[in-house]
Amino acid sequence: MALSKHINTDRLIQQSSDKKSTSHSHFANLTQGGAQTSVSHAYCARYGTSPIPKYHIPSKGIDPEAAYQLIHDELTLDGSPLLNLASFVHTYMPPAADKLMIENMSKNLIDTDEYPATQIIHNRCVSILADLWHAPSTQNAIGTATTGSSEAIQLGGLAMKRIWQEKRKAAGKSIHEPGPNIVMGANAQVALEKMARYFDVECRLVPISVESHYRLDPKKAMEFIDENTIGVFVILGSTYTGHYEPVKEMADLLDEYEAKTGNSVPIHVDGASGGFFAPFATPKLLWDFQIPRVVSINTSGHKFGLAYVGVGWVIWRDKQHLPKDLIFELHYLGSVEYSFSLNFSRPAAPIIAQYFNFVSLGFEGYRSIALNDLKNARLLSRALENSKYYTVLSDIHRFDPARSLGATVKAVVDENDVESYVPGLPVVSFRFSDELQQQYPEIQQKWIQTLLRAKGWIVPNYELAPGLEKVEILRVVVRENMTEVLIERLVNDLIEITEDLIKRDSPMHALDALGSAQATKHHEKTHGKLDEGHGSASSGTYAKTC
Ligand SMILES: *Cc1c(COP(=O)(O)O)cnc(C)c1O
């Protein structure tokens, strides 16, 4: 008999499990339709509970301890957050922070009247960030916590759109024909494009190039700007390569443009990562409210703000840049409060965790973590380049020609001094070197992702943004818990895997199976998910884990 080429594993399991003697049993009904829709589990025996339906609520609940164990066990199949080098999101806080968060787990940030102390801490965080980013007056700056940078970016973009509309109306011009547009690099994170699409703003993506360091090219951006441009999103820390986009250069060009045309185009800085990194690692770098054209900045508290997932921030340089129309007066449960956010309820605990970091780490604590991240990222970058198997696209391990000018005169560059290097995020983006590709054209870079995963490491392999979409990169985000020891292990594993591929007679044969294992669709993975093709076509920009 010929072997089947496709087995439905749900049906396979159903066929293979013990059958009840009567087909009219409740259990048999549940399993009709080809899929295993309920699970019995080992703890059934211990706790005497019945199998649990997978896709509808059980009529009777089970013992909390059994429920805990069951869900806990299933979740161990997730990757380890520590080894998730694909993500910018922070995964470690000290036990004292965990305790504080658990104590405040049930508080809702919106209940300002009930939790006034929480509200005061929230407002303090806003002031601390406004001050860190050099707002002209922390009194006049205004801002709010959000669930992350994505919500913060929607708010920043909306404010710019409203201000453009008000200006157009005041000048007696149409706000519809033509409508508003917003300009950003094609390397933009998906949240930026979402803002444009969700709020009916034309998204103008500026292609990237090797010369533009895989990020926004301000000169090219000027070709996309006109009187209907509500603003430019400038990214402090491109998700692809960690490069900072040149905020000052963009602002200078927009100054010239305003002098020529009278059109004032504001900048919103997407500092999702950099907003919490640059002020500590490279405090002299000019990117924030010191540049008058920067009207608003967002950041993710849960990235280099070093809090757990669930907190972001948006700050406007002063109240005049946040249209009143977006601010709601809440006469809810007591006092009057002002709200300008997309969510109503949100957990207070991540905001408390953010404040914990400000207090417990202080400027020096944040700085030393940032410098350590960069040091480890440089180690990884150099190891990859020295191996000759890889080419590194990120630049934080290269001496900054502009900044180390003085040092070259002295003929020594201090390798430990962060100021000697190109500023950027502790991100290492790399690809197979040209030599390796020429000598071993049959080896595919995506196999590295799969083979690393088998060792526990999660390192994504994906295409660069439009303009350079033919180039695939592997990317490692070096966060606080990616210690030197782990970097050494990663380098070891990477080199071992690469050499294994080189040495094999036919890597194709050995690895094709691995590549396709990932593509297999299992019912459980797809249940409740949209089918492929259900979303709009990919614009090719960043829509991966971050
Ligand atoms: C992560 C990221 C975002 C989205 O932030 P969330 O906090 O995940 O919502 C937006 N922009 C950039 C540049 C990012 O790195």
Query: Does ligand 1 lie within 6 Å of residue 225's CB atom?
Result: no
**Which token pair is 339?**
């709200």
**pLDDT tier for residue 113 given thresholds of 50, 70 and 90:** confident
Instruction: Write out the E strands in 16-150.
Output: 38-39, 52-53, 142-146
Q: 498: how many CB neighbours lie within 10 A of its CB?
A: 21
Pair 290, 219 in one domain: yes
Rounded mean pLDDT, 121-125: 96
Pair 36, 110 in one domain: no
pLDDT over 70, % of the chain: 86
Query: Does ligand 1 lie within 6 Å of residue 87's CB atom?
Result: no
Instruction: Match 């699970």 to its residue by tokens.
Output: 39
pLDDT surpassing 50 at residue 25: no
**pLDDT tier for residue 45 given thresholds of 50, 70 and 90:** low
pLDDT surpassing 50 at residue 27: no
Predicted confidence at residue 290, as pLDDT, reads 98
Predicted confidence at residue 522, as pLDDT, reads 56
Atom of ligand 1 nearest to the CA of 153: 10
pLDDT over 90, % of the chain: 71
Q: Identify any residues that bridge with 205 across adjacent strands, giving them in sequence order.
A: 184
The runs of H, that is alpha helices, within 133-198 are 149-170, 190-198
Tell me if 494 is assigned to some domain: yes
Pair 294, 207 in one domain: yes
Tell me if 106 is assigned to some domain: yes
**pLDDT tier for residue 59 given thresholds of 50, 70 and 90:** confident
Range of the domain at 38: 31-78
Pair 510, 464 in one domain: yes
Tell me if 290 is assigned to some domain: yes
**pLDDT tier for residue 482 given thresholds of 50, 70 and 90:** very high
Predicted confidence at residue 16, as pLDDT, reads 87
Q: What phi and psi, each to the nearest 5 degrees, are found at residue 108?
A: -105, 125
Predicted confidence at residue 30, as pLDDT, reads 42
Choosing from 354, 381, 411, the residue where a domain stops is: 354
Predicted confidence at residue 503, as pLDDT, reads 86
Q: For residues 257 and 265, is the Cβ–Cβ distance under 8 A?
A: yes
Choosing from 310, 334, 354, the residue where a domain stops is: 354
Pair 348, 399 in one domain: no
Query: Does ligand 1 lie within 6 Å of residue 189's CB atom?
Result: yes
Tell me if 319 is assigned to some domain: yes
pLDDT surpassing 80 at residue 513: no
Atom of ligand 1 nearest to the CA of 148: 7
pLDDT surpassing 60 at residue 126: yes
Distance CA 145, CA 161 (A): 20
Spacing, Cα 86 to ligand 1 middle (Å): 13
Query: Does ligand 1 lie within 6 Å of residue 272's CB atom?
Result: yes
Q: What phi and psi, each to the nearest 5 degrees, are found at residue 243?
A: -65, 140
**pLDDT tier for residue 521 given thresholds of 50, 70 and 90:** low
Per-residue pLDDT tens for 241-292?
Answer: 999 999 999 999 999 999 999 999 999 999 999 999 999 999 999 999 999 9
Rounded mean pLDDT, 213-230: 97
Atom of ligand 1 nearest to the CA of 150: 9
Report which of residues 386 and 334 the model is more confident about. Answer: 386
Pair 334, 424 in one domain: no
Query: Does ligand 1 lie within 6 Å of residue 394's CB atom?
Result: no
Per-residue pLDDT tens for 405-456?
Answer: 555 555 567 888 999 999 999 999 999 999 999 999 999 999 999 999 999 9
**Range name among 111-115, 126-130, 418-422, 477-481 with the lowest pLDDT average:** 111-115
Predicted confidence at residue 528, as pLDDT, reads 74
**Which token pair is 35?**
């899929």
Per-residue pLDDT tens for 89-98?
Answer: 999 999 999 9
Predicted confidence at residue 516, as pLDDT, reads 43
Spacing, Cα 300 to ligand 1 middle (Å): 7
Tell me if 2 is assigned to some domain: no
**Range name among 63-67, 110-114, 524-528 with the lowest pLDDT average:** 524-528
Look at ligand 1, atom 14, and give the residue with the nearest C-alpha. Answer: 272
Predicted confidence at residue 46, as pLDDT, reads 66
**CATH no. for residue 296?**
3.40.640.10
Pair 462, 343 in one domain: no
Rounded mean pLDDT, 493-516: 72
Query: Does ligand 1 lie within 6 Å of residue 191's CB atom?
Result: yes
Tell me if 333 is assigned to some domain: yes
Spacing, Cα 312 to ligand 1 middle (Å): 9
pLDDT surpassing 70 at residue 222: yes
Q: 52: how many CB neighbours lie within 10 A of its CB?
A: 17
Average pLDDT, the chain: 89
Query: Does ligand 1 lie within 6 Å of residue 277's CB atom?
Result: no
Query: Does ligand 1 lie within 6 Å of residue 447's CB atom?
Result: no
Pair 264, 296 in one domain: yes
CA atoms within 13 A on the CB side of 418: 24
**CATH no. for residue 490?**
3.90.1150.160
**pTM exceeds cut of 0.85:** yes
pLDDT surpassing 50 at residue 60: yes
pLDDT surpassing 90 at residue 141: yes
Pair 74, 114 in one domain: no
Predicted confidence at residue 306, as pLDDT, reads 98
Query: Does ligand 1 lie within 6 Å of residue 150's CB atom?
Result: yes
Distance CA 104, CA 446 (A): 43
Q: Among 84, 354, 546, which residue has the most ligand 1 atoms within 8 Å of its CB, making it the best to mutate?
A: 546
pLDDT surpassing 70 at residue 511: no
Closest CA to 194 of 444, 543, 499, 545: 543
Predicted confidence at residue 17, as pLDDT, reads 83
Predicted confidence at residue 4, as pLDDT, reads 82
Predicted confidence at residue 412, as pLDDT, reads 66
Domain count, the chain: 3
Query: Does ligand 1 lie within 6 Å of residue 461's CB atom?
Result: no
**pLDDT tier for residue 541 given thresholds of 50, 70 and 90:** low
Tell me if 262 is assigned to some domain: yes
Distance CA 243, CA 241 (A): 5
Rounded mean pLDDT, 308-325: 95
Spacing, Cα 482 to ligand 1 middle (Å): 20
Predicted confidence at residue 504, as pLDDT, reads 74
Spacing, Cα 272 to ligand 1 middle (Å): 5
Pair 70, 106 in one domain: no
Pair 327, 413 in one domain: no
pLDDT surpassing 70 at residue 35: no
Pair 69, 156 in one domain: no
Look at ligand 1, atom 2, and give the residue with the nearest C-alpha. Answer: 272
Query: Does ligand 1 lie within 6 Å of residue 187's CB atom?
Result: no
Choosing from 310, 332, 354, the residue where a domain stops is: 354
**Range name among 40-44, 147-151, 360-364 with the lowest pLDDT average:** 40-44
Tell me if 208 is assigned to some domain: yes
Per-residue pLDDT tens for 155-210?
Answer: 999 999 999 999 999 999 999 989 999 999 999 999 999 999 999 999 999 999 99
Spacing, Cα 462 to ligand 1 middle (Å): 17
Q: For residues 81 and 539, is the Cβ–Cβ distance under 8 A?
A: no
